[in-house]
Structure formats: C-alpha cells, structure tokens
Amino acid sequence: MTHAAPRTQLMPGRQPDRTRFFGERAHVVGKLAVSVVLGLVYGYWAAANRRDGGPITGWNLLFGFLSALVFAVLCMALLSVAPKLRREVHAVLWGAFSGAAVGFLFNQTNLSVLQSTGLGLAIAAGVFVSMFYRYYTHEDAQGHHIE
C-alpha cells in the first residue's frame, strides 16, 4: 500500500519559500512590458472598431494611442495595487476592469449602448467569479499565498 510522503514542518507563522526564477527587477519589468503590450493591442483594436473599415486618419490614430495609454496605465495600477487588497476586492477590481474594457470596445462598433452594457456586465461577472475562485483556493483568510 502506498502512502503520501511526509511534509516538512514549518515554524508557526512562517510562509514556505516560493521558487522564483527571476529577481524582483525582472518581475517589475515584466509587469510594465505586459501592460504596455496589452495596451497597444487594445488601442489598435479600439481604433479599428471605431473606423469600421474606413480610412486611417490622424484622429483615429490619436484615439488609438489614447485608448492604449489609458488601458496600460489602468492595467499597471491594477497589477501593482490589487494584490495588496483582500481577495474579494481584488476579484471585483479585475472584474470591473475587464467588463469596462470589453464594454468600451463593443461600444466603438456603434451598436446599442444597452448591448455594450449587457456584454460588459456579463464579462465582469464571469471574470469576478473566476478570479474569486482562484484567489479563494490559492490564499488563506489573511491573503497569504498558499501552495
């Protein structure tokens, strides 16, 4: 009969060491790079939705870059602030950000505001549920990561 291998006992109040392949600086640069790349993709997508197959104009480029800038700044703020919050608030912030982003993209296609609001709320609810489940199963009650 097989048995589970014994786990090493940790001192009370001590968190297990997590393996990190890169240093803190690499993680900061990675968060910045991911935010900028996602922002550029989002800005291009918003500008493409807005022009609806028409010619690319200066106003369309400006709209795309401003959309990219706002998305990247909000994404960077969310990546730096949200992990310090409780898991419920953390999940609500990711849901609100995702729902607003998708609703805004859908709104640029000149369809109904009610449709874009409904889609944004549906996406927000789905992201909230999935993020809450993830944080609930990977954190203890104080918000510390567990393995």
- Specify the range with the lowest mean pLDDT, choosing from 18-27, 31-40, 62-71: 18-27
Q: Which residues contact 20 (CB under 8 A, 6 or more apart)?
A: 27
Residue 143 placed within a domain? yes
108 vs 23 pLDDT, higher one = 108
pLDDT at 97: 96
Query: Do 117 and 135 lie in a common domain?
Result: yes
Q: Is residue 137 part of a domain?
A: yes
pLDDT for res 143 = 61
Q: How many CA atoms lie within 13 A of 4 on its CB side?
A: 3
> Looking at the structure, do residues 62 and 96 belong to the same domain, yes or no?
no
Residue with the bigger pLDDT between 67 and 136: it is 67
Residue 56 located in a structural domain: yes
Kindly report each contact of residues 7-16 with a partner whose C-beta sits within 8 Å and lies 24 or more positions away, as own/partner: 15/144, 15/145, 16/147
- Whether the pTM exceeds 0.75: the reply is yes
- Residue 112 maps to a domain: yes
- The CA distance from 95 to 113, in Å, is 19
pLDDT digits (tens, 9 = 90+) for 68-117: 999 999 999 999 898 888 888 989 999 999 999 999 999 999 888 999 99
Report if residue 62 sits inside a domain: yes
Q: Are both 147 and 89 inside the same structural domain?
A: yes
> What is the residue range of 53's domain?
24-77
Q: Please state the domain count of the chain.
A: 2
Residues 47, 96 within the same domain: no
